[in-house]
A and B are shown apart, each in its own frame.
Chain A
């Protein structure tokens, strides 16, 4: 995706799992006027380390600065930019959609096509859970709009690099 703000970049950071580390990362972005489109943080399998997945956008020079500045933080162990590499990106979204007699069938069809799930049923609305990369989520939400989206909760993207294989097939196996 490329727009006025330059390309979208998905960054994975490994950081010390300590109080204040997230504040350092976020403070760096706000203090230097960099963009954060989404942010997701949790402990890794090693309790001393957390992974932050951060989606940002900017022109080449800005992205280079962002990565250098992140690397400069004492608590940041590793910065990996997935953009331009093979990786899997996922986001989980909960969305409450109006579900009256007229729209229910259409909604369930969408849920089926996007391999989403209805996780709560109310008298006037359904809560739907869907996962996918940014493109899929945007497409799904756009299609739900005419039905009546009442509330959305998104986790923000997480990402992981695919195993480096010589053959292309292995990489294209999924998605």
Chain B
């Protein structure tokens, strides 16, 4: 059976393909060719896209370019989610290319998801020729206007002379500072016009200078707070994963013996295998001990988080006894939702490095005996086993995830759809490394997981990639089976089929008198036959004893595999904090 193997090298590094980069410098060429040269200069070897009239010139050039692999998705939304998954799994920038009008509007959900999760992607959209802009031309849409609030930045290129600079800026802005999606709109006449390719070797954007290095004075104040603290808690978020700070985070936690919780986006930043300090995820469906710890800690060191409402619950009641240190590269995240004692603006990795160094230089360290009271309190909370479930006659979704985790030794890259499936994945698959959990955290876009898995698999051919899906969500981008099969991507899809839009049904059960308005999904395709129709492998488990054999078989096949698990329809995700309640007020089953 094939299971995940550990990553040998930084895939992102290996992707730098210089090729015949220098040959093109100083030559006159069409805008469409400049586009290709810029991608090469950025080390891009894979893009996800879908053609159309406005970008046909680029596709013509792509056909002549061997160093760039174009993955033809089946819907533009899939291209953006795939670029997102690619970026997260590789640590690089994901790229996608679509046509004007409907091609462009189909990217919006993917862009918004990448924006909420701070994922570096560059989206290129075709546009009608500049003289037609504003005339309601065929397939014209103001995509720069539409995406302004959900991109880190966006551009409409109106002169071919600007094309090279703009593309290079787009990549620079996407990956630097707090990363995010950048969109570049390319009118057809610009792609056909001729200009000299300069081969720019550095990019500078006036007035854009992210603060990477933290202020030492602030670090000193953090150290003082750590000295005073008896019940410290570390809260890590997606920023730790994005900045590659999980090594420093582990160092800090162990040096000061502070328990660690993460947000959904931070899963993997701290090893799930650490029995002593790992608390599990925080939030609406967080663990009991993680949520309770936030109420009892006297110091919260929050790193790379933005205190989303799904994490804090009622903000007035959040971490009431704690002084909060908030480390983030984006100043707008700090003091947006919760009051903060010490703000530290800086890159998570550099800041934690500086903090660890200062603690080390001053010989400051706390061992378990010094934290006995705090740690034993946490052990007591842990004994309240709210994540326990009972596997009887009908398959429990939690059981499927737990077995998947065991069979893959926790080493797979997991993507998720949205809903109960996403929360069970977060609760029952225990991650030891960052960049292995890929989910639409901020936007919560159903249909994300499968194309994201495709992108992740392209970035990491060495890894086992599994999309944990719901029966509702998978149907939002199911067409991408054709993509996965065409490119021989051995992505695995685990569908937890509860015949419901389960998470919404759960809210209806708990808060709307079981009025299951429009959440029943009884009418669904035969998923196994559907997989087969696409040329993938389809497997099904209907009884608990079939779960492990189906997983073993599915994981061992080196092809695109869909595994459907017919699970308990009315199973709920617990623990749960009702929306708007204090995060320590948990419903425990």
Residues of A participating in the B interface, judged by any CB pair closer than 8 Å: 16, 19-20, 23-24, 27-28, 31, 61, 64-65, 68-69, 71-72, 74-78
Contacts and interface: CB of A to CB of B under 8 A. Distances in A.
Contact of B148 (A24, A61, A64): A24
B140 interface: no
Nearest to A61: B335
Contacts of A74: 152-153, 173, 205, 207-208
B27 interface: no
Nearest to A28: B149
B205 A68 contact: no
A65 B332 contact: yes
B585 to A, nearest CB: 25
A24 B149 CA distance: 8
Interface of B: 144-145, 148-149, 152-153, 156, 173, 205-208, 330-332, 335-336
Nearest to B210: A72
A7 B277 CA distance: 45
B206 A16 contact: yes
A145 B103 CA distance: 55
A76 B207 contact: yes
Nearest to B149: A31
A77 B205 CA distance: 10
Nearest to B150: A31
B207 A78 contact: yes
Given A16-B206, A20-B144, A74-B153, A69 B173 contact: no
15 contacts: A20-B144, A23-B145, A24-B148, A28-B149, A68-B331, A68-B332, A71-B331, A72-B330, A72-B331, A74-B152, A74-B173, A74-B205, A74-B208, A76-B207, A78-B207
A69 B334 CA distance: 11
B301 to A, nearest CB: 21
Nearest to B148: A27
Given A19-B156, A74-B152, A77-B207, 9 more contacts: A16-B207, A24-B148, A27-B148, A64-B335, A65-B335, A68-B331, A68-B332, A72-B330, A76-B207
Closest 8 CB pairs of A and B: A77-B207, A68-B332, A74-B153, A68-B331, A31-B149, A74-B208, A69-B332, A27-B148
Given A74-B173, A77-B206, A20 B156 contact: yes
Nearest to B205: A74
A31 B394 CA distance: 47
A20 B331 CA distance: 24
Nearest to A30: B149
Nearest to B152: A74
A77 B144 CA distance: 21
Contacts of B206: 16, 77
Nearest to A77: B207
Contacts of B205: 74
Contacts of B335: 61, 64-65
A135 B387 CA distance: 62
A99 B149 CA distance: 48
A27 B149 contact: yes
A10 B398 CA distance: 55
Contacts of B145: 20, 23
A19 B207 CA distance: 17
B54 to A, nearest CB: 20
Nearest to B169: A74
A81 B331 CA distance: 17
Given A68-B331, A72-B330, A23 B148 contact: yes
Nearest to B177: A72
A19 B154 CA distance: 12
Contacts of A24: 148
Contacts of A72: 330-332
A104 B143 CA distance: 54
B315 to A, nearest CB: 12
| Most chain B beta-carbon contacts within 10 A, residue among A24, A65, A68, A77 | A68
Contacts of A31: 149
A71 B330 CA distance: 11
A15 to B, nearest CB: 9
Given A23-B145, A23-B148, A27-B148, A75 B332 contact: no
A156 B331 CA distance: 29
Nearest to B153: A74
Nearest to B155: A20
A122 B144 CA distance: 47
A71 B205 CA distance: 14
A70 B201 CA distance: 29
A77 B208 CA distance: 8
Nearest to A23: B148
A72 B115 CA distance: 14
A72 B149 CA distance: 13
A31 B149 CA distance: 8
Contacts of B148: 20, 23-24, 27
Nearest to B207: A77
A71 B209 CA distance: 10
| Most chain A beta-carbon contacts within 10 A, residue among B144, B153, B332 | B332
